Structures are given as structure tokens and as C-alpha cells.
Structure 1
Amino acid sequence: MNSFARLLRTELARLLHRRAILLLAAAAIIVPTIIGVVLVIDTLPPSDAEIAEAERNVELDIANGYVKDNIEECIADPQGWAGYPSDLSDAEVEERCLADFTPTVDQYLYSPQLDLANERDAGTGIAVTLIVAMAMMLLGTTFTGHDWASGSVSNQLLFETRRHRVWAAKAIVVSGFALVLAAVVLSTYWLVLGAVARSRDRLGDGVLMDCLQMGWRAALLAGIAALLGFALTMLFRSTVATLGILFGIALAGGILLAALGVEGRWNPAYNVAAVITDGTTYYAEVECSPKEIEEMGGDYGYCTEEREVTLAQGVGFLGTAVVAAGAVSLLSFRRRDVP
């Protein structure tokens, strides 16, 4: 085993023996598990008793007579009563009135259905991804922040004096650990939900693979987040300083970019979304065309245009940011005195 491999092994052992690291890793596992369990329970199919109650309610509605009255009024005046097109035949009108005004069992069942596509696009998928990514960023900052707080960096440099090798070993270990952990957690999350959806006959063709691919892209994002947290903490030599800067960027970064007139293409939030969702769109202010001015009845100063940030652009943006931060961090580590 060469010296750099031993250095990697040592850094991995140090990572796995940090209590704070283990707590963050546990949080990245437990929180998605809780979210998944709650989702599965909330979307349980209706019980036999609930179905029977819904059927009784349907029978009561039909027996009350107002359903029949509504259907008859719909047939008598389909345009005024129901807003149907005027070109429908009598048979088509009757069919639509019966379908629209006859109560069904589903109308009395209030159990949401497990929809993986919806969870991927607008449900728990985004939430779980962000939770795991934030946990991995905290992991990256905590791992190296402890070294600076305890003063152990100077001791480490006694055994390996080439600082760039120490920096690289730490970066590889923390980002690799975050990438693997996030990939396992997110893949397991979608595989379990996919199995539940399949057991309920709610799994569409190709949906599970799309969800898994989203999880793998999110794992890449988690690895990038851990590496960024590590690089910034190596630069500022303080976990608190790094978290404060990252919090400030997250809180005011978008507002500042908008105030400076920076296009959404360079907004970190859109680029993160592009990585997670395989591309995203945003609206940019542009000059109105003569046709748009004519349609609006005047020039209101600007119009909006939908634009896209692709997956490749998102990866390129985040990769460039991390490489730049890493280069500055490494240069600082090599040249500054270590207490």
C-alpha cells in the first residue's frame, strides 16, 4: 500500500470515528425513512369499512331524489345548466349528464394515492434530496472544522508534510463518503416507494427508473455539497464562519443577484434545480416585440421569456464553483501558517 493510500485510509478512519459525523450520517438516513413511512401510511388504500360507508352515502344521495333532478335539468338545458357544447347529440348529452351528476364511491373516499411521479416532481423527492444534501454539506464542514478547532492539523502535518496530499486525501474521503451514503439512501428511498406503489398497482412504466436517476443526480449534488463545505472550512478554518457565509448566500444571494440584474442562468438555485430535476426553466425579462406590444395595447417596459437551464449547464456551473473554491482553499492551506 503506497503512502497516499495509507493517508486515505487514515482519513476515512478518522471520519468514521467522529461522533458528529455519525450523527449527521444517521440523520441523513433516519429523516428520509420517517418521511417515507409517513407517506406510505398517509396513502394507504381505503379499508373495507371506508368503502362500505362510501357506498352507503352514494345510495343515500341517489335516494334523496336531488341527483335525479340535477340529471333531468342537465338534459333539459345542457348549455345553461352544465356548460356543454351546443353540438352534442341527445344521446351524448344524456351520457355526460349521467357521468357528471351521478355520485360515485370515489367522491366519498378521501385517501390520497401514492403517485411516484408526483412525489418526484413536487412531493417528498425534492425535500428528501435537500435534506440529504444539507446534511452532507454539514458533514464536510464538521469533519475539517473539528481539526482546526482542536489544533490537530499541525499534528497531521508532522506525519505528512506535503500539504496538498493532506488536503486531497481529506477532500476525496469526505466527498466520496457523502456521495456513496447519499446514493444508498436515495436509491433505497425510491426502491422502497416503488415496491409499495407496485404492490398497490400504482407504478407507471419507467417512473421508478426516472426516480432512481433523480436520486443518483441528487447523490452527485450531495458529494459536491460536502466538498464545497470542506473546501470553505479549510479556507476559513472555522465551521461557524463557513456555515454563516453559506447561510448568508442562501438567504440573500438570490435577492442580491436580482438587484444586480444577473440573469437566472447564473442563479445558484436554478442550477441546483437543474441538476436535481434534469433541467429546469425560469423566466427572464426581455424587450417586448412589436407584436406583443400590440397585443398588450401598449409598451409596459418589458416582457418575460421562458428559458432553460440544462443538466449539463447546472453541473458545469456547480463544478466550476467548487473547483474555484477548492483551488483557493488549497492555495491558502499550502501557504498560510498552521497553528
Structure 2
Amino acid sequence: MGSVSLYRAETRRLVKRRFTKLFTVGALLILAAVLAGVFLTNEKVGPDQVAQATARAQAEYKQSVAATEQIRAECESVQGTPRASEFPPNCEISAPSESDFNPEWYMPPTFGLKDNLPDMITTLAAVLALAAFVIGASFVGAEWSSGGMMNLLLWRPRRLQVLSTKLAALLVGATVLTVVVAAIWTVAFWGVAKTRGNTIGMTSGTWQSFGLMELRALVLVLAAGALGFGLASLGRHTAMALGVAIGVIVVFQFGVAAVLGIAHVKFPELFLAPFWVIAWMSKEYVAQDYDACNYDVRGACQPDTLTITWQMAGSALVVILVLVVGAAMWTMRKRDIT
């Protein structure tokens, strides 16, 4: 009963915190803005739009042909003069073909659920993961900096139980929020596709694939929350987690990327976190090295490739979480509380 009451108390504390409410509302507003932007910038394509795109492609083709003929005529008129060097020899200027102007290129943007929902799920995961990281860091960091953790341990002296219960409350709360928002997110974009796009190709297998992608999004959100919680607990302050996050972004994403580019390191993506996140969400990321071209029979460059799979990304994520959260638990047990 004691552990249950502690869990309830921690859940209530998490939900009631002003910072939790503000950051959650902020994340939801960002997602709402993304949804509104997608809705307003797409439109449903029908026979009228197809006809307009076809007419525009034809008009562009005719204008290009006319421009080519004009240039060829000018070329012929200046033969034997110094200006002749400005044109190809013998005025060999080929006119574009009609196939060079595909009507699909002139179609208005439309939201295809099958093609575009994966990007929206990734956006959802990124926003909620950021929110979970900051909320998780603040949840335990504020307890340390305000002295609330010491007061709590006077009432409940079992250190590891207290910290693990706080972490459990955070992860359960993040799970509930992510599942609910992901369900609304999916339904909302299904509505966008129905009114401003299409749902072509949405088979049961496609829906299953999207469901697994949203499950990976949930794991990413929980990992971010646990990472922020663990870092703040190690440093006993919210600023510890935020400082590490800023350091990783500034140092690794800009500094290391620049150094790797200068050094011409093969597959620099291996050292950059965003590509591992992409691999986790999209099941794989294929890095390419165009400095090492393997030419095929047509003379085209076939670069060396390296594939980061979701299993590799997941394993790296587990290692990081075990190190950070494990260290937080160990220091909680060994370090002086005061």
C-alpha cells in the first residue's frame, strides 16, 4: 500500500506541476500549428486541377519551343560575325520534347496519407520527445534544487524506491499522453487526407506499418523522458540535463559535423544523433559516400553505402539509457543527500 500511495502522490505531483502543464500545452500548440499548416497548404485534386496542370504544362512547353526557335534564329543571323562564338557550332540547339513537361509537376500540393503520414508521425515523435525530456528533467531536478527530495526521503527513506517511483510516474504519464495524442493525430490527418488529399493505397498492411512506427515513436518519447530524468538526477538540477542537451546539439551537431567534413571522414552520419533517430523512426537510414564512386556499365556513380538499421539505433538507445539511468540510480544510493 505504501508504494501505491507513493506512486499516486508522485503522479499527482507530476500532473499538478505548472511547468508540466505549460510545456505540454506548448507542445500541443506546436502540433496544432503543424496540422493547421498542412491543412491550409494542401488541396484535393480533381478533374479541374488535372486540366489546369495539363494546360499549364502545354503552355510552358510551347513557350520553351518558341524561345528555342528564337535563339536558333538569332544564332543563324549572327553567323560570320564575332557574336557567332556565343552560340553552339552550326546552331545545333535542340528543342525540348513534350515529355519534358510533366503535368504532375504543375499539380497543386495534395496530402497523400500513405506518402505523407510517416513524416507527420516523425514530427509528432520529435515534439513529444522534446517535451518529455524537459518535463522529465524538471520533474526530478526541481525536487533536488528546492530541497523537496530531502524532505520526501525523511518520510520515505528508501532512496531507490523513491527515485524509481518518480521515474515510473513520469513514464506512465508520458505513455498516456503520447497514446492519446497519437490517436488524435492519426485521425486528424486521415481527415486532412479525405478533405485535402487522398487515402490511396491505405491497406491493412500499411496501417499496421504506421502503427508500428507510432509504437517506435512512443519508445522514443519514453527514452527522451528517462534520459532527461536521469541526467537531472545525476546533476541534481534541471540545468544539468538541459546543459548536456545544448552541449550535444552545439558541439556534436555543429562542431563535430564541421570537423568531420573538413577531415573527409567516411560516413560522418555515424557520429551524428539525428541520423540515428531517423533510422529508428524510418526503420533504416542509408548513408552514402560519393567520394568513393563505383562506376557501373553506364558510367554512373554508384557510391559506397552504409545502412543504419532500427535495430542498431535501438541498441544504441538502450546502451545510453542503461548508462544514464543506471548511473542516476547508483548515485542516488551512494551519494550524500544533503
TM-score by length of 1: 0.74
Q: Is 1:276 matched with 2:273?
A: no
Q: Is 1:141 matched with 2:146?
A: no
Residue pairs, 1:319-330, within 5 angstroms: 319-330=318-329
Is the CA contact 2:228–2:241 (under 8 Å) kept in the aligned structure 1? yes
Amino acid at match of 2:189: L
Q: Is 1:119 matched with 2:116?
A: yes
Q: Is 1:38 matched with 2:28?
A: no
Q: 2:202 matched to which residue of 1?
A: 205
Amino acid at match of 1:271: W
Q: CA 1:246/1:201 → structure 2, altered by over 3 Å: closer, same or farther?
A: closer
Deviations along 1:74-120, one digit per CA (max 9) or x if unpaired, are xxxxx94345xxxxxxxxxxxxx5x878x97x8876x3101234434
Compute the displacement of 1:230 (Å).
0.3
Distance 1:337 1:306 in 2: 50
Q: 1:183 matched to which residue of 2?
A: 179
Unaligned ranges ≥5, structure 1? 74-78, 84-96, 297-302
Q: 2:83 matched to which residue of 1?
A: none
Residue pairs, 1:251-266, within 5 angstroms: 251-254=250-253, 255-256=255-256, 259=260, 264-265=269-270
Compute the displacement of 1:285 (Å).
9.1
Q: 1:226 matched to which residue of 2?
A: 225
Distance 2:133 2:125 in 1: 12
Q: Is 1:245 matched with 2:244?
A: yes
Q: SS at the partner of 2:287?
A: strand
Deviations along 1:150-205, one digit per CA (max 9) or x if unpaired, are 11001110121110101111111112222331232123212221233135561122
Is the CA contact 1:164–1:330 (under 8 Å) kept in the aligned structure 2? yes
Q: SS at the partner of 1:338?
A: coil
Distance 2:52 2:314 in 1: 50
Distance 2:167 2:314 in 1: 19
Quote the RMSD (CA, aligned, Å).
3.8
Q: SS at the partner of 1:282?
A: strand
Q: SS at the partner of 1:81?
A: coil
Q: SS at the partner of 1:315?
A: helix
Q: CA 1:149/1:171 → structure 2, altered by over 3 Å: closer, same or farther?
A: same
Q: SS at the partner of 1:12?
A: helix
Residue pairs, 1:130-169, within 5 angstroms: 130-169=126-165
Is the CA contact 2:113–2:197 (under 8 Å) kept in the aligned structure 1? no
Range with greater deviation from structure 2 (318-327 or 213-222) = 213-222
Compute the displacement of 1:284 (Å).
5.8
Compute the displacement of 1:4 (Å).
1.9
Q: CA 1:107/1:318 → structure 2, altered by over 3 Å: closer, same or farther?
A: closer
Deviations along 1:4-28, one digit per CA (max 9) or x if unpaired, are 2222111101101101011112223
Q: CA 1:228/1:201 → structure 2, altered by over 3 Å: closer, same or farther?
A: closer
Q: 2:95 matched to which residue of 1?
A: 81
Compute the displacement of 1:332 (Å).
1.0
Q: CA 1:210/1:192 → structure 2, altered by over 3 Å: closer, same or farther?
A: farther
TM-score by length of 2: 0.74
Compute the displacement of 1:305 (Å).
2.2
Aligned residue-pair number: 296
Compute the displacement of 1:213 (Å).
2.9
Is the CA contact 2:122–2:217 (under 8 Å) kept in the aligned structure 1? no
Distance 2:331 2:146 in 1: 19
Distance 1:210 1:199 in 2: 23
Distance 2:179 2:276 in 1: 20
Is the CA contact 1:190–1:208 (under 8 Å) kept in the aligned structure 2? no
Is the CA contact 1:187–1:215 (under 8 Å) kept in the aligned structure 2? no
Is the CA contact 1:28–1:185 (under 8 Å) kept in the aligned structure 2? no
Amino acid at match of 1:270: F
Deviations along 1:223-253, one digit per CA (max 9) or x if unpaired, are 1000000010000011112201111112212
Compute the displacement of 1:338 (Å).
1.6
Distance 2:21 2:195 in 1: 34
Q: SS at the partner of 1:205?
A: coil
Distance 1:100 1:188 in 2: 42
Distance 1:208 1:225 in 2: 26
Residue pairs, 1:99-118, within 5 angstroms: 111-118=108-115
Distance 1:329 1:163 in 2: 11
Give aligned-pair identity as a percent.
Answer: 21
